[in-house]
Amino acid sequence: MSNKPDHETETKPDRPRVLLVDDYPDAREMYTEYLEFSGFEVVEAENGMEALQRAVDAAPDIILMDLSLPVMDGWEATRRLKADSRTATIPVVALTGHALAGISEGAKKAGCDAFVTKPCLPEDLVKEIRRVLDSTANKKARRSGKYAKTIG
C-alpha cells in the first residue's frame, strides 16, 4: 500500500494501467489497441499463471480477466490474486464468451468485481473499466479520506 502512490506518480498520473489477460491473440491485440487509443496503459498476459506474475510486477489499476484460459484458468487466477495481499485490492473484471448461467456467480465467488460477456465492443469494455475504476476510487476515498486527497 505504501508503495502504491510512488508507482502512480512515477509512471502515469492520467493513464490508468490495465492488465489484460486473454489467450486469444486477436482479442488481446484489439482491446489493447483500443484501450491505448482511449488513454490507458496496457500490460498483457496469455494465461492465469502469467497474470499472477504481471499483477505483482506491473501493479495495474485494474485487471481484465478472461475466464477460459490455458495453464491456469481465470477463476483460479482471480482467487489467488484476491488471496495475495500485494494484489488483493486490484479490481478484477471477468471477461468471457461463456454466457451460460452460473458463470457470473462462479466469477463473483472467485472474487471478480464485475462481469462482462463477450462479444463486447471495445467502447463498451472501456465504459465498464471506467465505471469500475470510479467506484473503486470512491470506495478508497471513503475508506481513507486524507490519502485520497493527496492522490487526487
Partner 1 sequence: MNNMLLSSALSSKAMEETGAARRELLLVNPIDGSDLVFELLSTITEDPRHGSGVVSILRNVTDLRRASEEIEENYRKMRMAEAQARAESDRLNLIIDSVADPIVVTDAAGATSLMNDPAERLFTIPRNASAIEQRWVQANDAHFSSFIAGMLVSADRRRVGEIGLLDARTGEPMPVEAIAGKILSDHGELTAVVTILHDRREALEKTRLYEQLKQASDELERKIQAATADIAQQNELLRRQAIELEQASALKSQFLANMSHEFRTPLNAMLGYTSMLLQGVAGPVDGPIKRQLSRIESNGRHLLTIINEILDISRIEAGRMPLQMSKFQVPELVGEVKAELEPIILRSKLSITVDVPKDLSPLWSDRQKVKQILLNLLSNALKFTHQGSVTVSARPNPRERVLELAVTDTGIGVALVDQEKIFEDFRQLDNTPTRPYGGTGLGLSICRRLAQMLDGRISVRSELGKGSTFSLILPTKGRK
| Integer angstrom CA distances of residue 116 from 66, 67, 68, 132 | 9, 11, 13, 12
- Per CB under 8 A, does 102 bind partner 1? yes
Closest by Cα among 28, 7, 27 to 17: 7
Least distance to partner 1 from the beta carbon of 143, Å?
29
- Per CB under 8 A, does 34 bind partner 1? yes
- Per CB under 8 A, does 101 bind partner 1? yes
Taking the least distance from each CB to partner 1, the nearer of 122 and 151 is 122
Decide if 67 contacts 24 (C-beta within 8 A): no
What CA–CA distance (Å, rounded) separates 114 from 95? 9
**Which of these ranges, 32-40, 72-80, 106-114, 144-152, lies near partner 1 under the rule CB under 8 A?**
32-40
**Which of these ranges, 49-57, 76-84, 93-101, 132-140, lies near partner 1 under the rule CB under 8 A?**
93-101
- Per CB under 8 A, does 122 bind partner 1? yes
How remote is the C-alpha of 48 from its chain's centroid? 13
The position carrying cell 486527497 is 149
Taking the least distance from each CB to partner 1, the nearer of 55 and 67 is 67
Least distance to partner 1 from the beta carbon of 12, Å?
20
- Per CB under 8 A, does 121 bind partner 1? yes
What CA–CA distance (Å, rounded) separates 21 from 99? 18
Least distance to partner 1 from the beta carbon of 102, Å?
7
Decide if 54 contacts 74 (C-beta within 8 A): no
Chain positions contacting partner 1, by CB under 8 A: 24, 26-27, 30-31, 33-34, 37, 97-102, 118-123
